[in-house]
A = this chain, B = another copy of it.
Amino acid sequence: MLETLFNPRSVAIIGASQKALSIGNVITANLVKYGYTGAIYPVNPKADEICGQPCYPSVLAIPGGVDVAHICIPARFTLDALEECGKKGVQHLIINSAGFRETGAAGRELENRVVERARFYGMRVVGPNCQGITTADPAVRAYCNFTFTYPEDGHVSIVAQSGGVGALFMQAIHDLGIGMRYYASTGNACDVSIPEILRFYGDDEKTRAIILYAEGFTDPAEFMDAAREVAAKKPVLGMRSGRTVAGAKAVVSHTGGLAGSGRSTEVLFRKTGILSFHNVEEMCQAAMAFASQPIPGGNRVGLITDTGGPAVIATDELCDAGLEIPGISEKAISVLREKLYPEASVNNPVDVLATGTAEQYRAALDVLMDEPGIDSVYINYVTPLFIDNEAVAREIATVSRMRKKPIVCNYMTDKPQWKATTAILKKGGIPCYDYPETAARALAALTRYAALRGRKMEPPVQFNDVDRARAAAQLQEVHEQGRVLLTSCEAACLLQCYRIPVAPVRIAAHADGAAAAAEQIGYPVVVKAEAAEIVHKTELGGVVLNCTDEYAVRDAMSGLQERISAADLKFAIQQYLPGGREIVIGASEEKGLGHLIMFGAGGIQVELLGDVVFELTPVSGPEAQHMLESVKSYPLLTGFRGAPGVDTGRIVEIIQRVSQLVTDFPMIKEMDLNPVIAFKHEAVTIDARVVIHK
């Protein structure tokens, strides 16, 4: 569908201009300068030629067909131009002009009209308020864009909502010398969307890695489908800015509370198989490795170095990223001992010394490539003045071409002096980095991708023992009463419908009722204050634990009445369950994506140290298990410092049941099970808070 957009045979520029500092001029000039192989048709009734190209008074006056027409005249003239393009049979419009949806109601209306009329004519629209597209393929060289970076042909394709960031990526890819295939910056994306472009890149054989930058998603579900489909085919490297509060302010904030801004995108990326980055530089440098190297089978790195210090720095960085630098086999060591200098270091890291010859480099490479306990190779290569560096580069390139295991290289040199050596490495497809850390991080990204691609995927379990009808009735009742917050009893009932274990709770307004409730539940009990405005009970002293008899319950209640003044104050009586581990499970609605499920272990760990993880619904068994294993305080659950472990299987099940509950009832806006107390053979919700939509 987008084939003609990215590979047009002809491009018209409506609003082409002779004025050097105008968009219409820049686009025409870019097409000429970049060597576009198709026909260039500047459209301007007042000029004869622009940038050496004959000019046409209107798009209708163009002799041949028009695959792509830029519209870079003021927004108010867009519709007229569009009509002419429609009549001409133009296939794609790139509307560079601003002044549409981003400016308010009138602009939005204009944009809607553009979409409507374009559909009428069967034209596709990129933008408005966008840069456009670029194709680096030598057979096309279409620079339908007003930026200034002229990339070489390569295997990385870029799609970015923000033109500024898109241009940054294009420039970085260009500076890294790895070449680009397609570029698109979508702006308002009224028609041609990021998911559609993603799919196009996914189907393009020459695209080996995709760079994706987003600031938000118009249709998250559509994005999710496309991302899942494409990420299954090739590496998609994704970044979304706005991860800090201040950063999120600058874009649209999607999530609230603990989930934090931008958090859902990270979860969305992981769930669909997109490799997530926080950093433009790191992402581009990773793209360089993805563009030429195979994916490692695991996280065990073999290092080859010709100088000591930088290998230590690389080791630090690799280990920080969770990679391992294991020892190598006796057999491998004996081969190295035979081939390298006597002073060389023959275990991992292998130090061939600054005087190491090309043959010795090759021997080290061969050993690591054949070593079963090594998944990838990191080379620290300084170009000493004592050896034949071109020969070394040739050996590295030869081994790289075999594509047995990925190679990255910290190439420490003065490039202008070592042009031939640099060219050999580049031609060999070796991703070369200026710093030990950047090379290490690129290898870490390849390894992280291997783990992501290999993650356990299962369809989510559908529990059939739930009472969906009763849950629906419970929620409906609250809704009909015009409330949004469920009472403790209602929340407990809801959980019970989905077989989520909850400590029985009874509400009492007075001491006599409370005593009776406690008698029924069985001592010891907990007495909690319950009122509409109380959120953090503990902080207000609103919880009295371990009441062992009726007197204790009455004492507790009078104490609570003294401390807390609320017109609707009532008391919740619940079984007291000492011991166990506190965990927290939450769910919050994530517009267009379902719900974001939260998990954390421990009270302070969650609230003070933020040791929580998130997953999007529906949560599968392996995903729930991965959530548990991803918190730092996981050892608290498996047994720590002599304390016994808890029933993690039960927690995994509760997470999945919560996922099913909120998926079945999108009207649930927020839900917090806090705490759930986990014991050796069970886990029980002590307090649940459920908020529904008005």
For residue A607, CB closer than 8 A to chain B, the reply is yes
Q: Which of A166, A281, A438 has the most CB of B within 10 A?
A: A281
8 Å CB contact of A412 from B167, B246, B250, B308 = B167
How long is the Cα–Cα vector from A146 to B171 in the complex, in angstroms?
35
How long is the Cα–Cα vector from A318 to B290 in the complex, in angstroms?
29
For residue A665, CB closer than 8 A to chain B, the reply is no
How long is the Cα–Cα vector from A315 to B160 in the complex, in angstroms?
18
For residue A417, CB closer than 8 A to chain B, the reply is yes
Inter-subunit contact B633/A414 (CB<8 Å): no
With A171-B413, A609-B632 known to touch, is A309 a contact of B23 (CB < 8 Å)? no
Closest Cβ–Cβ distance, residue A309 to chain B (whole Å) = 3
Inter-subunit contact B382/A280 (CB<8 Å): no
Inter-subunit contact B308/A162 (CB<8 Å): yes
Closest Cβ–Cβ distance, residue A10 to chain B (whole Å) = 23
With A540-B642, A608-B640 known to touch, is A311 a contact of B250 (CB < 8 Å)? yes
Binds B, one of A237-245, A554-562, A591-599, A616-624: A237-245
8 Å CB contact of A148 from B247, B383, B609 = B383
Q: Which residue of B lies closest to A146 (CB)?
A: B385
B-side contacts of A412, CB under 8 Å:
164, 167-168, 171
Inter-subunit contact B247/A281 (CB<8 Å): no
How long is the Cα–Cα vector from A171 to B640 in the complex, in angstroms?
48
8 Å CB contact of A316 from B247, B382, B540, B602 = B247
Inter-subunit contact B312/A215 (CB<8 Å): yes
Binds B, one of A197-205, A429-437, A652-660: A429-437
Interface size on A (CB < 8 Å)?
87
Q: Which residue of B lies closest to A539 (CB)?
A: B642
Q: Which residue of B lies closest to A21 (CB)?
A: B386
For residue A366, CB closer than 8 A to chain B, the reply is no
Inter-subunit contact A434/B175 (CB<8 Å): yes
Closest Cβ–Cβ distance, residue A16 to chain B (whole Å) = 14
Digitize A538-560: 1 where CB-to-B-CB distance is under 8 Å, 0 elsewhere. Answer: 11110000000000000000000
Inter-subunit contact B22/A386 (CB<8 Å): yes
How long is the Cα–Cα vector from A250 to B348 in the complex, in angstroms?
10
With A307-B164, A538-B642 known to touch, is A244 a contact of B320 (CB < 8 Å)? yes
Inter-subunit contact A641/B163 (CB<8 Å): no
Q: Which positions 302-325 of chain A face chain B at CB distance < 8 Å?
A: 307-313, 315-320, 324-325
Inter-subunit contact A164/B382 (CB<8 Å): yes
For residue A165, CB closer than 8 A to chain B, the reply is yes
B-side contacts of A316, CB under 8 Å:
241-244, 246-247, 278
B-side contacts of A307, CB under 8 Å:
162-164, 167
Number of identical protomers: 2
How long is the Cα–Cα vector from A417 to B150 in the complex, in angstroms?
10
B-side contacts of A309, CB under 8 Å:
160-166, 168, 213, 215, 241
Closest Cβ–Cβ distance, residue A684 to chain B (whole Å) = 22
How long is the Cα–Cα vector from A541 to B163 in the complex, in angstroms?
62
Closest Cβ–Cβ distance, residue A36 to chain B (whole Å) = 17
For residue A174, CB closer than 8 A to chain B, the reply is yes
How long is the Cα–Cα vector from A166 to B168 in the complex, in angstroms?
31
Q: Which positions 509-551 of chain A face chain B at CB distance < 8 Å?
A: 536, 538-541
Closest Cβ–Cβ distance, residue A104 to chain B (whole Å) = 12
For residue A605, CB closer than 8 A to chain B, the reply is yes
B-side contacts of A385, CB under 8 Å:
21, 26, 146-148
For residue A122, CB closer than 8 A to chain B, the reply is no
8 Å CB contact of A280 from B251, B279, B383, B435 = B435
B-side contacts of A150, CB under 8 Å:
414
B-side contacts of A611, CB under 8 Å:
609
How long is the Cα–Cα vector from A26 to B318 in the complex, in angstroms?
34
Inter-subunit contact A148/B417 (CB<8 Å): yes
Inter-subunit contact A246/B315 (CB<8 Å): yes
How long is the Cα–Cα vector from A146 to B605 in the complex, in angstroms?
53
For residue A604, CB closer than 8 A to chain B, the reply is yes
Q: Which residue of B lies closest to A537 (CB)?
A: B642
Inter-subunit contact A247/B312 (CB<8 Å): yes
8 Å CB contact of A281 from B308, B383, B437, B640 = B437
For residue A635, CB closer than 8 A to chain B, the reply is yes
Digitize A369-400: 1 where CB-to-B-CB distance is under 8 Å, 0 elsewhere. Answer: 00000000000001101110000000000000
Q: Which positions 72-117 of chain A face chain B at CB distance < 8 Å?
A: none
Q: Which residue of B lies closest to A607 (CB)?
A: B641
B-side contacts of A628, CB under 8 Å:
none
Q: Which positions 653-692 of chain A face chain B at CB distance < 8 Å?
A: none
B-side contacts of A313, CB under 8 Å:
165, 241, 247, 280
For residue A349, CB closer than 8 A to chain B, the reply is yes
- Give 9 nearest A-B pairs by CB, closest first: A162-B309, A164-B307, A539-B642, A165-B309, A247-B316, A244-B319, A164-B309, A241-B312, A247-B315
30 A-B residue pairings within 8 Å (CB atoms) = A21-B387, A22-B386, A26-B386, A148-B413, A162-B307, A163-B307, A164-B307, A164-B310, A166-B309, A167-B412, A171-B413, A241-B316, A244-B315, A244-B319, A244-B320, A246-B315, A246-B324, A246-B325, A247-B316, A247-B319, A278-B316, A280-B437, A281-B438, A538-B642, A541-B642, A604-B604, A604-B636, A607-B641, A608-B635, A609-B632
Binding site for B on A (CB under 8 A): 21-23, 26, 146-150, 160-168, 171-172, 174-175, 213, 215, 241-247, 250-251, 278-281, 307-313, 315-320, 324-325, 349, 382-383, 385-387, 412-414, 417, 434-438, 536, 538-541, 602-605, 607-609, 611, 632-633, 635-636, 640-642
Q: A164-B311, A171-B413 are in contact. List 20 more A-B contacts (CB 8 A).
A: A160-B309, A162-B307, A164-B307, A164-B382, A164-B412, A165-B313, A167-B412, A171-B412, A171-B414, A241-B309, A244-B316, A246-B325, A247-B316, A250-B315, A279-B317, A279-B437, A281-B435, A604-B633, A604-B640, A609-B609
